[in-house]
Structure 1
């Protein structure tokens, strides 16, 4: 329906101004009154009829494309009625072609071209027209507003549509990057950020004084929340924890939901002591968030913190080390932070750990 309304505006402007092109040719080479009546209908009544017809159709978009083909047929008929008067004929054909190309590409343009040729041939036969391409000065002057105004109207419409499409594209891009529940980065997009960070660190490992760290956090006893309180409460816990991360982490940190109750953070350009303090504070804040508006319903956090090191051959090694450190935190009693080191050993853990 938006397409119909956009074409209605262009059709109203184009046919209203185009009326004078054909009318000037009719004055140059006089025609019978029925052609004048048809010209008035096409110039000023047809846009209303076409709009109402399209909006009343089951699929307005298809109906409007049909109307554009009818416009092209009218154009071919007017060429015959003007006996090939060169300047207005060229103006009408070019404007109709622009409409069809803009609305439906080459396919619609060809349909319109065939309709114009057929209508021109029919009109030539019905009116017994004679080839008379000469355009006098008044006819040329009458065509100037059409040549000036209609391309401006079409360009403005195309520009506004391009802006809307660009904005919609940006919205879709944001949606494709976000986790629908927590509004943090989703796993796919966050992992692409991790690959980018890893690549930058590998290219210039000593260029920056500060380091990058990978923090993996898992909500303890989350399965019990779902089993006891239901999944709606579980979703609330995930949202509340995501909000806790947004509040207590820095703007430059990249936060993502890795899956289920697991969250990941890339701490960029941060000193080792600051990364350790920040990560420990998250564990403590989760422990303290048992009551209040953003409570976690008894969930605590097990976390693994891993600095970037040049011996890691790929980004997934960074993730594996964070995962190892986090599960060591779980195996050692949960509700704690474990910093990865080469000698770190994961203890045996009960099968019910969650």
Structure 2
């Protein structure tokens, strides 16, 4: 940590030293022209020899001394500001030597104030004017008060180079500084939007583009496809070949994405070895063709020389029944998990046959559900297939769509889970059960944490069996099965054994 802090302070010091170097170059030019102006006034006033020496030392030695001090200072920017204050102080002295010749004195104050404004803003200008007044007061004490404000033609001509060249020089330096700041701003903007390893958009900026595309679909109905991709067995690559190989795989996969996609397509690194792709004005069928070509390329043009790295893809085309961006992302995530479940190195598209995993039907008659909301499961054939063979008279059963909205629930489920008429989703049902201490027992003080854990388990396994105990002391053997268009919760039977874990 101390090494990092030292490196950061060194970088900051180099930036401050660059500021001092620019001021050093500006000071050399400005004070050289300033001496021409002062010399003209001294010549006009027939000043003694010693009056020429001190301004010469300031104008020709001062810039180099100030740069030397700035180089050796731990805070070069502050050292340069002290140099500017010294210029103000000596400017006040030279004004007295010039016997307050009006044009040179006005130029001296204005140009020094311009330098101070560029170097430190209004505060430094005010400090500079205070030091200027102090130098003037000291000059009057040393050299006496002499008032000759008139300027000869020679003095006016000597002032012209400074009047013309110094503002141009300061403007040039300011322009370079603005260009440098603009470049830094663009770099910072790029860094804030892109992932450093892959060069793709980072997750936050990519999700912003997904939200914009979703809003565009709502307005104009233009088709779009969302893809989540994941490099298969990535941990094994890191373990066997090292993290450098894993980084190379991520970079090469990002390059492969860029090769096969269009300029209007939006790629992002979603996290770790997972990537997101947004395909505007594209159908699911066209997206599959592109991703299949990419998947084949991963075999013919391997990402790594020492290992074959494949990828799995989950694909969802945007449709009117997808209620939100979050639901769209969730569907793509579920399709990606289906691809993993089917053996990886494949493309799974929502609605295609390979995205459906249906358990074998039981040989008992189907009974119509008592609680339905078929906005998501509105295909009678599909619904019949999902419910085929399940006697729902005594077995609690419910179906949920991919965004966890309740689609179908039989009377036994409604009774056991105390489903309210206003309940829309699985989360609504479980929050009600948790708050009223009814239905299934939820061993957690934080229902939102429990819901996230349940969701993670569901996404990681297409089908799982577990035990559920209820608040009234009963136990149920439970089956949870996920499909491409939702998932089913089935409490198979009540256990009579008071110790169900035996």
TM-score norm. by structure 1 comes to 0.89
Q: Shift of the alpha carbon at 1:292? A: 4.9
Q: Give the alignment of 1:36-185 within 5 angstroms.
A: 36-185=52-201
Label 1:183 to 1:164 Cα distance change in 2 as closer, same or farther (>3 A). Answer: same
Q: Which residue in 2 is equivalent to 1:32?
A: 48
The answer for the alignment partner of 2:463 in structure 1 is 348
Q: Which range moves more in the overlay, 259-268 or 303-312? A: 303-312
RMSD: 2.3
User: Quick one: distance in 1 between partners of 2:248 and 2:224?
Assistant: 30
Answer whether contact 2:302 2:309 (CA < 8 A) is retained: no
Unaligned runs of 5+ in 2: 1-16, 352-375, 378-400, 403-458, 466-502
Q: Does structure 1 retain, via aligned residues, the 8 Å contact 2:315–2:347? A: yes
Take 2:100 and 2:209, find their aligned partners in 1: how far apart are those partners? 63
CA distance in structure 1 between the partners assigned to 2:464 and 2:82 by the alignment: 70
Residue 234 of structure 1 is aligned with which of 206, 230, 246? 246
Of Structure 1 and Structure 2, the greater helix share is in 1
Partners of 2:253 and 2:303 within 8 A in 1: no
Q: What residue in structure 2 maps to residue 335 of structure 1? A: 345
Match of 1:303 among 313, 332, 353: 313
Q: 1:266 aligns with which of 278, 285, 310?
A: 278
- Compute the displacement of 1:215 (Å): 0.6
* 1:230/1:43 CA distance change after superposition, 3 Å: closer
Give the CA deviation at 1:92: 0.5
CA distance in 2: counterparts of 1:322 and 1:292, whole angstroms = 25
**Within 1, Cα distance between the matches of 2:347 and 2:237?**
22
Higher deviation after alignment, 32-41 or 327-336: 327-336
Aligned residue for 1:270, secondary structure, equals coil
Alpha-carbon deviation of 1:89?
0.4
The answer for the alignment partner of 1:255 in structure 2 is 267
Judge conservation of contact 1:213–1:307 (CA < 8 Å) in 2.
Answer: yes
Shift of 1:329: 1.8
Cα deviation, residue 325, structure 1: 1.3
- Contact 2:302-2:308 within 8 A present in 1 as well: no
TM superposition shift of 1:283: 2.9
The reply on whether 1:191 has 2:234 as its aligned counterpart is no
Distance of 1:283 and 1:322 partners within structure 2: 17
**Contact 1:237–1:297 (CA<8 Å) still a contact in 2?**
no
Select between 90-99 and 336-345 the one with higher mean Cα deviation: 336-345
User: How many Å apart are 1:148 and its aligned residue?
Assistant: 0.9
SS at match of 2:61: helix
CA distance in 2, matches of 1:237, 1:295: 10
Q: Please tell me whether Structure 1 or Structure 2 has the larger radius of gyration of its CA atoms.
A: 2
Task: Give the alignment partner of residue 312 of structure 1, picking from 307, 322, 331.
Answer: 322
Unmatched tracts of structure 1, length 5 or more: none
Q: Could you say which structure has the greater relative contact order, defined with CA pairs below 8 angstroms and 6 or more residues apart?
A: 1
The CA deviation at 1:321 is 1.2
The CA deviation at 1:294 is 3.6
Q: Distance in 2 between matches of 1:153 and 1:295?
A: 56
User: Helix, strand or coil: the match of 1:58?
Assistant: coil
Number of paired residues? Answer: 344
Q: Does 1:275 align with 2:287?
A: yes
